[in-house]
Amino acid sequence: MTSTHPTPRPVRLFVALPVPPSVRDSLRTPLDRLLPDDARLRPTHPEGWHVTLAFLGDTPAVRLTDVVDVVSAVLARRSLPDRVGLGSPGRFGDHTLWIGLDEEPPGSLGRLGADLQSDLAAADLPVRQRELRPHITIARARRRHRVSQADVRALEQAPGISWRPAGVEIWQSHLGDGPARYVTAASVAQPDTGHQDREVGSDAATRDGS
């Protein structure tokens, strides 16, 4: 007898280093002042600020626990940076405005991202292999407009805020009309932080992205 249960749709997942609420709050007002209030740029929502460490794209929903297992194993052997701070701004082409990150030790996030991508691929998960350039996307150009070098120079006045990350999150993105929406599918803490190192689907938060 053929089952009538529909096959669950795949989910779009990525591993992210979230920006803490205190950092978002400290940065929100200065950015509102620094970025021009015009029709050229579409700012990203602060609740969606993050650093992408590994992007999986469409993933079978039943494999979320496999993703969490891989991320937990990587964090057990690869430490997060002792400190992450806002660095120099830049742009991708003429469409994306971002702020880079300074890390202690330098290159920590790049090594973490490389390990995550390698281990997720080894677990037969649909991860995209690409070199990590840690950044937070701040704004994107609206249609028929461009991000200018003047916009990059304006962000050079952003405050030098830093924080100590305690873990990473696995976010699910929902695409549709308007900016993407992000939902926390799982949280994975660094094992030596004393926090619970796995929270799957716990206290899920919805964030607007861009």
Q: What's the CATH number where 22 sits? A: 3.90.1140.10
Q: How confident is the model at residue 195 (pLDDT cuts 50, 70, 90)?
A: very low
For the segment 122-126, the average pLDDT, to the nearest whole number, is 97
In a domain, 3, yes or no: no
Q: Where does the pLDDT of residue 205 fall: very low under 50, low under 70, confident under 90, or very high at 90 and above?
A: very low
Q: What is the pLDDT of residues 53-81, one digit of tens each?
A: 999 989 999 999 999 999 999 999 999 99
193 Cβ contact partners less than 8 Å away, ≥ 6 residues apart: 166, 167
Residue 106 lies in a domain: yes
Q: From residue 89, how far is each of 16, 61, 92, 135 by CA, in Å? A: 19, 36, 10, 9
Q: Which domain holds residue 94?
A: 11-208
**For the chain, what is the domain count?**
1
What does pTM read for this prediction? 0.84
Query: Residue 201 pLDDT > 70, yes or no?
Result: no
Does residue 5 form part of some domain?
Answer: no
